[in-house]
Structure 1
């Protein structure tokens, strides 16, 4: 089978399997459905993994229906696989396969509907990562979104589940429709929908108001999907009620695909008309705000799933900051960071799911000391907190180190502080929760009245489990290993450097897509990997994370006080901003659109 056939196969296979599962689920045993869904996801991962490796020497371009370009002009729909896009599709397949493995002893009453939605979710993720057409990005955006909304609100008998799914659906759908408006504007200007064709049509032109507005609207939906502040409010509400395996997919790859989409649309379609310096500012400001808000909210949570969700928001901000530097080194660092983060954060969500299934709670205070020191899940949780802090030689640490080095070389050494502090605070919050729950250190937290509790929740298994099923434990171990590997496998560093250079090569993208030009050889990035500075900064982050955790565990408390305490004013303000009201979140979304638009439009229009 040729490379050009692999990309459509990876998109179509989970859709066909979803249809088969839905029909067979009426008669087939649950085990058959589990095996079929898991095997399909594993097959997608193998297909896209091979595609990612084979495209290191050049992109694989597939024109649907054989409608290939003539004279550089096209009317067909194109899939363009390069190492970064195919790598993200492979990551989606791997995470889905592990999530399905975890689900073998999970949500038994749902039968095949759960598996069908997960496979459709996977198809949307893969298609979104591989498409070279702006309108089809919207189509796959909606496919993954519709499946994710349903999966988030899976337990429709619970009001919180319905509310979380509704908030997720309203905010993300609104972002998607704003993106569709931007697609319409850019189509009206260029008459094109293919990313490469749009790039050629806009190349060399001046950025007028229509192009600026179109770009801002297009990327708005992607920034919402990436949970970039102030468009991030939906994510914690969704993660708090979504099943643990679905949290793995949302935090591990769906959010990251939002950042990827902004990068892909800019580099292929708008880089010739919007200067890189303007985009850098427009991404650094919300990126740093996202790191700040995500880290702060993560630190003050007692609801463990919300804690992990805000950690994802903070790390997404770091991914945005890394891309905003706009160098091959920073993009390679972001790619490695995403790989490491996906495995580690997925394992943490699955351990939290086990806590819910064993004790009916994900509340740090309610679970204080209830975990056992002999419980492997506890040590996995603590190891995940250390890894999130950027500990060498683990996966998140190498991504953090490469991104920090790239920022310093590009003339932004002050950005290193964001990586160190953001990773330290989020890692410290995870460690604090682990030390309290599994080791019983310190004392239960004194809950401010404004904190969201996580006690009294329904388990996601038919009944409370006493012993951890082997399939669930295997899924956690696989994710931890996957999260650690990027830091200790040098060939991945070389591949990430080549993938980043190819990703930023808009001329090569257009040439291979539209002109069937031969691929340009891509040299590896020199010096990509662990450095002395990177190791030292990683150890500093871990040290700070341990300090944050111990301070949280052993901070002084008022003698004899057992009731709720009053939150400090900044903490209270953060809680009030995260009100849970959809109307408030819509208002923040439009504020975010206005801020991003101003950051792009003001310097461009003022410079004329």
Structure 2
């Protein structure tokens, strides 16, 4: 019976339900008990999750793999205007992740932020509406609208503790940088509309097809994807992310790192595959994403390992993994896309769980400073092992879903012409996993020598106000439960037999441009030819074990570095100078970040446009 609900109802309701729920909470939230507010918010998010799952099942079961609906009185006969919603397994799957993480964040909130009133829950529901609308939109301008809804709510959530200056500063940096990127995207949308008279992805793709890849096409592509690159925190668009994560409430960090950043990549590659893929040279696009992804992965990994502030550490880990996702998505082929999607799903579960661990540490011990908390958690029984599991999952340990995504991505990128990529994936995964393992061993087991608290003048310390009234004597089940469920979900992704095939089929539909256009125009199209699914392989398991072992060794080396032979004086000076320079670039000054955003625009233009000029 449920599966017979038409898509014309499912998709709009998945977007509208959280908006209506938010309005309800804002209207009566102050007049009802807090428990009723919590329960209502969770129920609305759970309803959206159920709708998204139905949408995923319907789209995955459809032969064409794309389900389109038009709302607002428009239809395929008037493609220049209108609100088109297009669901495929990829988009619906992203919506499922967003809703699932929102449920987890809201359950965690039950014993969190005692001062939070209904507007906090309403903001989370509005954020869910923005994310759902963004992935289902089949129109560039509507994507921008939901992108801005998502952004505006995110700024408010980041600065939720408005009484703290650092919270306001982080929210301001986040808001200014992301808004500037959004306006660049809006400029690109205007350029394309002026040239083609179209805003829908499908009509725009048809209008651009056959045009030479001149300045308008290249400029339109660069401008449109810039805002998405900012949201995805690709280097050098990434500077806002660690500041925002450091001050945002823990449930908000779950949504930021678990899905919002990845939705930036979704926007980049949805626009690329549907609109610009046939127009811009395939090799140039691959090279662009390979360069951006490699820079992002390496810089994120290095800065992750240098952190003592747990939330900043996890934020830079997200940047590093976004780089790996970009490399895999950037193959623009089914194998790489399936691997990247698997990696994103596994990472969402693992990273969200680790942020909940960090929030529990803050509310239990009053700090997220790895060095200050040396040995503070020796009496803890459950969280130490969960944090260690999360660290190894981040490093790609089989059979976690993150390890499976890493294995499939490594093989796909190597086959796509980058034989060195598996080494990069192993290195970045190991370094980010090692940072988490080091922190867990230092905080919960007291391993290593007690380090100097003033390790570097530019080091960001992890002193923060607890998010509850009075420190917790024990972590309640409502905070521990989502953490366990998320880690278990990440494990299930790696062991269920049908998962690789499901992601392979989703990747086929995501790259099936003809099917997307046919669905948007209301015509029939032949289903995409199925690609072979790639799951665990011997090389994938071996590389996952290697990266996990390397992570453990790096963590131990960091803990006991005073017992290891040090570098020469010259090497130490060079290393210190490089680290100081990297830290100095992340100055916290909004003007610097805007400058780097413009540098990123120029870099994108050069990577895509210069080969065309040279040719």
Equivalent residue in structure 2 for 1:469, among 462, 476, 494: 476
The answer to whether the 8 Å contact 1:67/1:74 transfers is no
The answer to whether residue 29 in structure 2 is matched with residue 25 in structure 1 is yes
Change (3 A) 1:198 1:393: same
1:88 alignment counterpart: 94
1:450 aligns with 457
Q: Which residue of 1 aligns with 2:552?
A: 546
Matched, 1:62 2:69: yes
How many angstroms apart in 1 are the aligned matches of 2:481 and 2:529? 38
Displacement of 1:417: 1.5
- Partner of 1:80, secondary structure, is strand
Cα pair 2:80 2:199 within 8 Å, conserved? no
Choose the corresponding residue for 2:290, options 284, 290, 299: 284
Q: Confirm or deny: 8 A CA contact 1:301 1:451 kept in the other structure.
A: no
CA positional deviation for 1:271: 1.4
Q: Distance in 2 between matches of 1:589 and 1:576?
A: 17
Q: Aligned partners of 1:300 and 1:597: how far apart in 2?
A: 31
Name the structure 2 match of 1:562: none
Equivalent of 2:397, from 375, 379, 391? 391
CA contact (8 A) 1:450 1:575 kept: no
The separation in 1 between residues aligned to 2:451 and 2:141, in whole angstroms, is: 49
Q: Which residue of 1 aligns with 2:119?
A: 113
Instruction: Tell me the matched-pair count.
Output: 600
Q: What is the SS of the residue equivalent to 1:579?
A: coil
How far residue 204 of structure 1 moved from its aligned partner, in angstroms, is: 1.3
1:459 CA drift (Å): 0.3
For residue 430 of structure 1, what is the aligned residue in structure 2?
A: 436
Task: Indicate if the aligned counterparts of 2:362 and 2:368 stay in contact, CA closer than 8 A.
Answer: yes
Q: CA deviation at 1:110?
A: 2.1
Q: Which secondary structure state, in structure 2, belongs to the residue aligned with residue 221 of structure 1?
A: helix
Counterpart of 1:132 (choices 135, 138, 144) is 138
Contact 1:498 1:523 in 2 (8 A): no
**Corresponding residue for 2:210?**
204
Q: Say if 2:266 is the partner of 1:260.
A: yes
1:568 and 2:576 correspond: yes
Query: For residues 505 and 17 of structure 2, what CA distance do their matches in structure 1 show?
Result: 29
- Over residues 439-484 of structure 1, what are the superposed CA-to-partner deviations in whole Å (9 max), with x where a residue is unaligned? 1111233343334343442100122111111100101111111222
Q: How far apart in 1 are the matches of 2:434 and 2:163? A: 35
Q: Once the 2 structures are TM-superposed, how far is the Cα of residue 374 of structure 1 from its aligned partner?
A: 3.8
Could you tell me which of 16, 34, 44 is aligned with 1:12?
A: 16
The SS at the match of 2:609 is helix
Q: How does 1:91-490 map to 2 (within 5 A)?
A: 91-372=97-378, 374-446=380-452, 447-490=454-497
1:493-544 Cα shifts (integer Å, max 9, x gaps): 1111011011111111101111x22353345432410001100111111111
1:589 CA displacement: 0.7
Aligned to 2:498, the other structure's residue is in SS state helix
User: TM-score, normalised on structure 1?
Assistant: 0.96
Task: Report the equivalent of 2:498.
Answer: 491
How far apart are 1:8 and its partner, in Å? 0.7
Cα offset, 1:373, TM superposition = 5.1
TM-score by length of 2: 0.95
Distance across 1 between alignment mates of 2:69 and 2:497: 31
Structure 1 equivalent of residue 515 of structure 2: 508
3-state SS of 2:115 partner? helix
The CA deviation string for residues 299-352 of structure 1, in whole angstroms up to 9 with x for no partner, is 110111100000000000001010111110100001100110001100100111
Q: Secondary structure at the match of 2:86?
A: strand
Q: What's the counterpart of residue 598 of structure 2?
A: 590
- The answer to whether the aligner puts 1:50 opposite 2:58 as a matched pair is no
- In structure 2, runs of 5+ residues without a counterpart are 566-571
Give distance in 1, aligned partners of 2:341 and 2:67: 20
**CA apart distance, 1:77:** 1.4
Give the Cα–Cα distance (whole angstroms) in 2 for the partners of residues 581 and 485 of structure 1.
Answer: 42
The root-mean-square deviation of aligned C-alpha atoms, in Å, is: 1.5
Matched, 1:41 2:60: no
Check the 8 A contact 1:389/1:426 in 2, yes or no.
yes
Q: Evaluate the alpha carbon distance shift between residue 363 and residue 451 of structure 1 in structure 2; reply closer, same or farther with a 3 A threshold.
A: farther
Counterpart of 1:109 in 2: which secondary structure? coil
Contact 2:328-2:339 within 8 A present in 1 as well: yes
Counterpart secondary structure, 1:79: strand
**2: distance between equivalents of 1:550 and 1:524?**
45
Kindly tell me: are residues 63 and 257 of structure 1, through their superposed partners in 2, closer, same or farther at Cα, counting changes over 3 Å? Answer: same
What does residue 536 of structure 2 align with? 530
Q: Helix, strand or coil for the counterpart of 2:69?
A: strand
Distance 2:433 2:379 in 1: 20
